[in-house]
Amino acid sequence: MTPAAQDMSELDSKGPANRESVTQLRSVEPVDLPILFEFQLDEEANECAATNPRSKDEFDAHWTAILSDVKVSVRTILADNVVAGCISCFEADGDPVSAIGSEHRSGEKASPRRRYNFCYGKSLSGHCHRS
């Protein structure tokens, strides 16, 4: 079992989101990134969001850019003090960008405006989601 999977095992053992839990947002910490890397590899989530997963090097470069960009606001989602996903807000300049995933498969141009993305793991709802 990978370290990220071990981190999620406590939340997984409590079942899907039909139970009460404490949800919080906090700044992204370096320890969150391996967990978020695994979330973005989920095939079902990538199919739903029409995105492609990033390699480890691409993921690391992407998150280095995100965390150093003052125009991007990104937070880790905690469920019962366990990393459950992340949410971001950023300015889109017409390119098909995603603060969590990779470029949109269609190559469609987006209009300039604030964009919000989220990603959370299967332990939160039984499905991994990306937008």
How far apart (Å, rounded) are the C-alpha atoms in residues 56 and 75?
20
Judge contact between 105 and 122, C-beta under 8 A: no
DSSP 13-36: HT-STTS---EEEEE--GGGHHHH
Judge contact between 25 and 73, C-beta under 8 A: no
- Please count the residues of the chain: 131
- Write the DSSP symbol of residue 57: H
Q: Structurally, what CATH architecture does the domain formed by 3-11+23-130 represent?
A: 3-Layer(aba) Sandwich (3.40)
pLDDT in tens, the chain (131 residues): 444 444 444 444 545 555 577 889 999 999 999 999 998 888 887 777 778 899 999 999 999 999 999 888 999 999 889 999 899 988 776 554 444 444 445 555 555 577 777 777 766 554 444 54
* pLDDT at 102 (0 to 100): 41
Look up the pTM and report it: 0.65
